[in-house]
Amino acid sequence: MLRRILLGSALILLASRPALAEDGSELWLRYRKTSDPARLAEYRATIQSLVMHGESPTLTVAREEILRGLRGILDREVTIDTEPTRDGFVIVGTASNLIPSINVARELGKVGKEGYVIRSITVGGRKGTVITANTDVGVLYGVFAFLRELQTSKPIRKLAIASGPAIQIRMLDHWDNLDRSVERGYAGKALWEWSKLPDTLSPRYKDYARANASIGINGASITNVNANAKFLTPEYLAKSAAIANVLRPYGIRVYLTARFSAPIEIGGLKTADPLDPAVRKWWADKTDEVYRFIPDFGGYVVKANSEGQPGPQDYKRTHADGANMFADALAPHGGVVMWRAFVYSQDVPTDRVKQAYDEFKPLDGQFRDNVMVQVKNGPLDFQPREPFSPLFGAMPKTPLMMEFQITKEYLGQDTHLAYLGALFEEVLRADTYAKGKGSTVAKVIDGSLHSYKRTGIAGVANVGSDVNWTGSQFNQSNWYAFGRLAWNPREASRDIADDWVRETFTNDQAAVARIREMMIRSREAVVNYMTPLGLAHIMATGHHYGPAPWVKLSRPDWSPTYYHRADSIGIGFDRTATGSNAVAQYFPAVRDRYANRKTVPDSVLLWFHHVGWGEKLSSGRTLWDELVWRYNAGVTSVHDMQRTWTNVQDNVDPERFKEVQSFLAIQEKEARWWRDAALTYFQTFSHRPIPAAFEQPAHPLAYYQQLRCPADRNKPRCEAIP
Ligand code: GCW
């Protein structure tokens, strides 16, 4: 009887204890108990004690992290030892903190300053594991890598891992404003609580740092490139310094965006001319001041003479004059300036996609050696698909950084599931032929092609104040994939997705495979239902969310009609010699492949060619039929994604399952909206029917043209979409 009463109350207790909220806030650092019993037994036998010497802020957080991770994964505490005196020791530290009998000098010689070595070893007859590196931050990265092995349920009895980053600067660019709005942010407000800083530090700063360090990110530009000079005032430098203090132990340096006209706006000068001595002195003094606040400040990110931002051309100076001014101010402190190549102007009569190359290529060799030129992955603007920017490979004397956009401005933003690992990989593996076959974009970025002394890669951040950090559960995977590829640009996006799914959702083999394959195909799905066959920039004006291929603005370079050029003959932008000849900016092998209708891949066909509606493509279908086919394939892919997700229901917690499911429902509706809006519009030119085998658009064109979809996710969406 007593037993029954006790049992009963235990049950009540259990039922009333709130379940651990699976809201996505833990990202991929969930550290849940290993689910496979055999694996758990292996881990418990192999990891019994922690031996960790050495003191530093970075080693402290490394210790904190490994204990936290092991506690969760093993579901028990590990013993802290001073010596590896029992089987199952894990010894962690830089070589100088280890014991002399562990010799890993040879491996450490290969992994560089930030790399790590994880190896199964025997010391004095005791079996254990060593996690070591040349620096403290390398140790931290090693700890995260070890925890990843455990979280992904890998065997750990015979570890022999050695890894170092291929790229030096691996950073996130936040487009965060002073009022906590985020340009192109779809995850709530900015992380940085400017009004409460520097006195109050949100605990999220530290979790942000942990997440970044876990994937090797070592820089954060914390302010918008559409910059506000106020960020450079002492009041705000103190706030940035407070953030830098939290990020520092995690190996992350802070960068700031510099508004070119700051000397006028906050310095009281009459000019911002980069060759004016007073202006140069102002920046030198300002930079000294920044370093007094943030001694390891990384440098400036600058958007100049782009989309209305001030810049050196306002004073008839070149981008090199502008960049070099900052470089000179930063050089005494070891900082770098990241000068963005995202420039175009409606006053320049050429094709917008040619302008960055035309502007920057002639400047190769004119930049100081602490200038890096930051180039978007494609020549236009973060579209679902673009060919790689022709600048990659074209500036052998100037270190070019890659700029990817993790926040999916043009790929469905918060709600649509699109795994960008596939996009990043496609660009990194693209062959520029700058020095013959095999001259991939990755080799430009990692410096190996042109022996750049500095190397870097930036991702426009998708994080914000939302509980799940990124606006959706799956958007987390894009942050993750960016970091992993920044560390190793040759890694397969499929493997990265596999790890992410295991760390984030489940280690169940079948479920992992299903979710991973869904992710791999998701980006192409978006390409198909938004901009198939090399179409681009046919999104609605301003917010860039829904379709609006019919829009014609007074600025052609912002107009969808400028980009698709549909007419009674066909569709597409002729960028060959008979058109804008943008294709000539590529090295001959690439140029010839793209310029030739017989060899250009369908994926970029309409980017380079104006193609007749009735022309036959490689599929045997006419262009029009192919367009219809692709738009429908996009919708079908979303149906497949919905089915896949339903199939993994048992492997995913109900909270996140539901959230993803409801977003997929939005995506399905909106994929059809995209398809029907685009096809009914393009049909006004092609005058061809949508083959009967396909679902016919539910409404006439006029209906789609009057739909409005607000950019703000908190406002009602396009509810009327069928
Ligand atoms: O993609 C476009 C965006 C702008 C952005 C700009 C840029 C920060 O629509 O919002 O401004 O690119 O990269 O500078």
Ligand 1 centre to CA of 168 (Å) is: 25
Domain span holding position 197: 174-493
pLDDT tens digits for 155-188?
999 999 999 999 999 999 999 999 999 999 999 9
Q: Are residues 286 and 411 in the same domain?
A: yes
Task: Report how far residue 479's alpha carbon sits from residue 483's, in angstroms, rounded to the nearest whole number.
Answer: 6
Task: Give residue 103's pLDDT.
Answer: 86
Last residue of a domain, one of 163, 190, 205: 163
- Does 515 have pLDDT greater than 60? yes
Are residues 239 and 144 located together in one domain of the fold? Answer: no
- For 444-496, write each residue's pLDDT tens digit: 999 999 999 999 999 999 999 999 999 999 999 999 999 999 999 999 999 99
Same domain, 252 and 297: yes
Q: What is the pTM of this model?
A: 0.96
The Å distance, Cα 537 to ligand 1 centre, comes to: 13
We report the CATH number of the domain holding residue 660 as: 3.90.1330.10
Testing ligand 1's pocket by substitution, the residue of 176, 184, 225 carrying the most ligand atoms inside 8 A of its CB is: 184
Ligand 1 centroid, distance to 302 Cα (angstroms): 13
- 511 in a domain, yes or no? no
DSSP secondary structure letters along 385-434:
S-PPPTTTTT-TTSPEEEEEE-S-TTTTTTTS---THHHHHHHHH-B--B
Q: Are residues 137 and 213 in the same domain?
A: no
Question: Which residues lie closer than 8 Å to 47 by C-beta, 6 or more apart?
Answer: 70, 74, 78, 88, 90, 129, 156
Ligand 1 atom 3, closest CA: 184
Relative to beta strand 570-571, strand 456-460 is unpaired
The helix/strand count (H/E) of the chain reads as 22, 16
124 CA to middle of ligand 1, Å? Answer: 59
What atom of ligand 1 comes closest to residue 410's alpha carbon? 1
Strand 160-163, strand 611-612: pairing: unpaired
Q: Give the position, in ligand 1's atom list, of the atom nearest the Cα of 309.
A: 14
Residues 248, 237: Cα–Cα separation, whole Å: 16
Ligand 1: residues whose CB is within 6 Å? 175, 183-184, 225-226, 303, 306-307, 342, 381-382, 409
Lowest mean pLDDT of 211-220, 244-253, 537-546, name the range: 537-546
What is the spatial distance between Cα 371 and Cα 375, in angstroms, rounded to a whole number? 13
Question: Which of helix, strand or coil describes residue 612?
Answer: strand
In the predicted structure, residue 14 carries a pLDDT above the cut 70:
no
Phi and psi at 64, nearest 5°, equal: -55, -45
Q: Which one of 173, 375, 380, 409 would you pick to mutate in the ligand 1 pocket, going by the greatest count of ligand atoms within 8 A of its CB?
A: 409
Whose Cα sits closest to atom 1 in ligand 1? 381
Closest atom of ligand 1 to 303 CA is: 14
CATH of the domain at 51: 3.30.379.10
CB 497 within 8 A of CB 519: yes
CA atoms within 13 A on the CB side of 472: 27
Which atom of ligand 1 is the closest one to the Cα of 403? 13
Cβ atoms 444, 400 nearer than 8 A: yes
| The domain boundary residue, chosen from 493, 517, 550 | 493
The residue nearest atom 12 of ligand 1, judged by CA position, is 381
Q: What is the DSSP string of 696-710?
A: PPSS-HHHHHH----
Q: Does some domain include residue 510?
A: no
What DSSP string describes 58-118? HHHHHHHHHHHHHHHHHSSPPEEESS--STTEEEEEEGGGS-TT---HHHHHHHTTT-EEE
Is 449 found in the same domain as 398?
yes
One domain, residues 293 and 268: yes
Do 11 and 124 share a domain, yes or no?
yes
Which phi and psi (to 5°) does residue 131 adopt?
-120, 115
What spacing in Å lies between the alpha carbon of 420 and ligand 1's midpoint? 18
Which stretch of DSSP H or E encloses residue 501? helix 493-504
Please tell me the distance from the alpha carbon of residue 468 to that of residue 67, in angstroms, as a whole number: 24
- Asked whether residue 505 is domain-assigned, the answer is no
Strands (E), 313-399: 336-340, 371-376
For residue 382, tell me if it sits in a domain.
yes
C-alpha of residue 706 to centroid of ligand 1, in Å: 26
Residues 76-105, mean pLDDT to the nearest whole number = 92
**Looking at the predicted structure, is the pLDDT value of residue 372 above 80?**
yes
Average pLDDT of every residue of the chain: 95
What percentage of residues in the chain have a pLDDT greater than 90?
Answer: 92
Q: What is the DSSP letter of 540?
A: P
Mutational test site, ligand 1, from 173, 175, 309, 460, max ligand atoms within 8 Å of CB: 175
Residue 590 lies in a domain: no
Residue 720: which pLDDT band, with cuts at 50, 70 and 90? Answer: low
Q: How far is the CA of 224 from the centre of ligand 1 (A)?
A: 10
pLDDT in tens, 269-302: 999 999 999 999 999 999 999 999 999 999 999 9
Asked if 192 and 143 sit in the same domain, the reply is no
C-alpha of residue 184 to centroid of ligand 1, in Å: 8
307 Cα nearest atom in ligand 1: 14
Q: Is the peptide bond before 710 cis (omega within 30 degrees of 0)?
A: no
> Kind and range of the H or E element at 531?
none
Torsion of CA 525, 529, 533, 537, to 10 degrees: -110
Pocket residue to mutate for ligand 1, from 305, 381, 401, most atoms within 8 A of Cβ: 381
Nearest to 205 by CA among 238, 175, 240, 177: 240
Q: Is residue 338 part of a domain?
A: yes
Half-sphere exposure of 224 (CA within 13 A, CB side): 18
Q: How far is the CA of 268 from the centre of ligand 1 (A)?
A: 28
Confidence of residue 712 (pLDDT cuts 50, 70, 90): low
CA 607–ligand 1 middle distance (angstroms): 21
Residue 661 near residue 645 (C-beta atoms within 8 A):
yes
Position 647 confidence tier, pLDDT thresholds 50, 70, 90: very high
For residue 282, the model assigns a pLDDT of 98
What is the model's pLDDT at position 100?
77
Check whether residue 229 and residue 361 sit in a common domain. yes
Atom of ligand 1 nearest to the CA of 175: 8
The tokens for 604 are 């970029």
Catalytic positions, please? 307, 381, 409
One domain for residues 366 and 411? yes
Mutate to test the pocket of ligand 1, among 181, 226, 386, 389 (most ligand atoms within 8 A of CB): 226
Residue 382 CA: which ligand 1 atom is closest?
A: 1
For residue 8, is pLDDT > 50?
Answer: no
CA–centroid distance, 379 to ligand 1, in Å, is: 13
Q: Does 21 share its domain with 157?
A: yes
103 close to 118: Cβ distance less than 8 angstroms: no
| Residue 232 counted as domain residue | yes
The count of domains in the chain is 3
Same domain, 246 and 336: yes
Give the number of the atom of ligand 1 that is nearest the alpha carbon of residue 460.
13
Bridge partners of 81, per DSSP, are 51
The residue out of 127, 142, 163 marking a domain boundary is 163
Domain containing 488 — which CATH number?
3.20.20.80
The b/e string for 556-570 (b: 16+ C-beta within 10 A; e otherwise) is ebbbbbbbbbbeeeb
Query: Is residue 85 one of the residues assigned to a domain?
Result: yes
Torsion over CA: 629, 632, 637, 640 (sign): negative
Computed on alpha carbons and rounded to an integer, the radius of gyration of the chain in Å comes to: 27
